[in-house]
Amino acid sequence: MTSCGRSPFSPLRLLVALGLATGLLCDFGPSASAETREIPVSHDDVLLSFAGPVKKAQPAVVNVYASRTERQPRNVLLDDPVFRRFFGDGNGRRPGGPTAQSLGSGVLVDPSGLVVTNFHVIEGMTDVKVALTDKREFEATIVLRDQRTDLAVLRLKGGDGAFPSMEVGDSDTLQVGDLVLAIGNPFGVGQTVTQGIVSALARTQVGISDYGFFIQTDAAINPGNSGGALIDMKARLVGINSAIFSQTGSSIGIGFAIPVNMVKVVVAAAKSGGHQVHRPWLGASLQGVSREIADSLGLDRPSGALIVEVASQSPAAEAGLKRGDLITRIDGQTLEDPESFGYRLATRPLGGKAQLTVLRNGKPIDATLNLSAAPEQPPRDPVKLNGHSPLTGLSVVNLSPAVTEEFSIQGAFEGVVINDIDENSPAANVNFQRGDVIIAVNGAKITSTHQLEKAMSEQHYYWKVTVGRGHDILTTVLGG
């Protein structure tokens, strides 16, 4: 599966709508004389007020407060209980030490207390609290983090198990021009509602997450709105507000929301007890169609996902797909580019089948794709590198189709994949990145995690490390 290309919005900053400031939450409830209003069902009702859908949806939108205490450099004196009593807890933390904080929004999608928010709201955080509109506050556990979609699922602790929850809609039914409302906590001022329309659908070249397929809206979204609800006029959740496009950090009427049909997949994984989302695997590399390619294929415009390479024993191979095929539809839905195909495939349930329309040699053909997860072969066999080498602090796993999908690895590499990097380790100072593929060390190919572990246990004056990143192969020489 191809990842998002470079954003065409590069002259400006694409700002993730994440507020880091804290604010006073103000909630002035309705007065005793407030009128009871119904959900608007006609044009005249819409002109009157949005109070109906807001009243129905608002209780399910929450504020999310996430934090972590930063670790301090360890002092060996803290091993002495007398020093530990006065200077710290012995785990590298100091009372009253610096903390990292994040403020965002979330949506209750199940009465049991499941909350959907953005991954970037809780990224790297350890302590999460959630505040409801009725001013109740709950601690929350992080059930699932899905960086690829920029989504996370939390579960509230305590409560009566009958939390307000929002009805989930169908983002595929949205049309450009539909009225929508954004509900969240911008700038930490308290829950706020803004109104707008769907400005565009299927925005792909945005560069926010691996699955670049967003609802664009002009409803004002500002820092702190991340994870908040985008609802339709029937108070149904149609998207999770994720980012804004701005030069100043404030809304200029270009906001992006993750379609709720992708949210459903992540929530279903969390409900089933999973800590990771498993999605259908194509087993082929795709690229976009340029004007030149479109002309050569006899197309009236550039569209579709062009197959560049097909992996053996993959669903794509089983479906009879070949290099040079152009995928134009999936289950009857037109595809504009590889990103739209990636989104459509990712929202299909495992175990079923998808019908593809493919253009081959100028003629359309049908293909049936089995919706199965990428295999974990070879097994990950994780290894953490220790010792005195420049790679100390890396955690690596074997490369498999499942790992390739999880890390959105581009290119046909052989090697092992960097899964994690310890802070303040020698490896953290070498500019390695999570998802890099270590291909060779000192000219010797690396084919397994234990082979790399053995290679790094040897003594050398220098280390020549070859790494695959994106479509590039990089080589660096490090001191021993």
Check whether 419 is labelled as a binding-site residue: no
Of these residues, 102, 110, 146, 150, which one is catalytic? 150
Instruction: Specify whether the CB–CB gap between 286 and 305 falls below 8 A.
Output: yes
Of these residues, 102, 120, 242, 408, which one is catalytic? 120
User: What gap in Å lies between CA 378 and CA 42, rounded to an integer?
Assistant: 58
Check whether 224 is labelled as a binding-site residue: yes
Instruction: Specify whether the CB–CB gap between 231 and 237 falls below 8 A.
Output: yes
Check whether 366 is labelled as a binding-site residue: no
Nearest to 239 by CA among 193, 190, 274, 201: 201
For strand 192-203 and strand 214-217, is the pairing parallel, antiparallel, or unpaired? antiparallel
User: What gap in Å lies between CA 278 and CA 284, rounded to an integer?
Assistant: 17
Instruction: Specify whether the CB–CB gap between 206 and 217 falls below 8 A.
Output: no
Check whether 212 is labelled as a binding-site residue: no
User: What gap in Å lies between CA 154 and CA 110, rounded to an integer?
Assistant: 11
| φ, ψ dihedrals at 454, nearest 5° | -65, -40
226 noted as active-site residue = yes
Work out the burial of residue 251: count CB atoms within 10 Å of its CB; fewer than 13 is exposed, 13-18 middle, 19 or more buried.
buried
Of these residues, 105, 226, 242, 251, which one is catalytic? 226
Contacts with 163 (C-beta within 8 Å, 6 or more apart), sequence order: 60, 108, 110, 111, 112, 113, 132, 156
120 noted as active-site residue = yes
Check whether 273 is labelled as a binding-site residue: no
Active-site residue set? 120, 150, 226
- Going by the annotation, the residues of the binding site for substrate are 120, 150, 224-226
Binding site members: 120, 150, 224-226
